[in-house]
């Protein structure tokens, strides 16, 4: 296999790093190290919520529902994703939080990959 090709398993690798499978936080020699984009495979139990709102967002993001029912919260607007493949995109400066209304799997892509935003469990 080419050194420029990496094959992984999102659920297995995500379990090792709070869901994150790509971003600036991976070791520089890891093929998943990337300062342009972050990717998360999120597995959430029903009723699980983000510990705190993200305020002053510096990135753009895309969240895609793989399975379940997942609510994204924005100031003055909630978006409920309930069908596989539904997604929501938000931009820089958009505060947000989330709640899994049912057991859910989501994939989040954020860009650029910048330090910060990690909330203690």
Note the pLDDT of residue 117: 58
**Do 98 and 73 touch, CB atoms closer than 8 A?**
yes
Task: Give tens-digit pLDDT for 9-53.
Answer: 999 999 888 888 999 989 999 999 999 999 999 999 999 999 999
pLDDT at 118 over 60: no
How large a percentage of the chain has pLDDT more than 90?
77
Burial class of residue 27 in the structure, from the number of CB atoms within 10 Å of its CB (0-12 exposed, 13-18 middle, 19+ buried): exposed
pLDDT at 2 over 70: no
Q: Supply 62's token pair.
A: 């895309």
Note the pLDDT of residue 43: 96
The architecture (CATH level 2) of 8-109 comes to: Sandwich (2.60)
Average pLDDT of the chain, as a whole number = 91
pLDDT at 85 over 90: yes
pTM of the model: 0.88
How large a percentage of the chain has pLDDT more than 70?
93
Instruction: Report the distance separating Cα 17 and Cα 26, nearest Å.
Output: 9
């Amino acid at each position: 296999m080419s050194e420029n090709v990496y094959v992984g398993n999102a659920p297995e690798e995500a379990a090792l790093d709070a869901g994150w499978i790509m971003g600036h936080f991976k070791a520089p020699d890891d093929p998943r190290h990337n300062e342009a984009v972050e990717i998360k495979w999120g597995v959430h139990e029903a009723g699980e919520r983000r510990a705190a709102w993200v305020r002053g967002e510096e990135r753009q993001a895309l969240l895609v529902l793989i399975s379940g029912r997942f609510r994204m919260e924005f100031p003055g607007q909630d978006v409920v994703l309930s069908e596989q493949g539904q997604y929501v995109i938000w931009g820089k400066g958009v505060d947000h939080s989330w709640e899994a209304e049912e057991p859910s799997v989501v994939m989040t892509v954020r860009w650029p990959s910048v330090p910060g935003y990690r909330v203690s469990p």
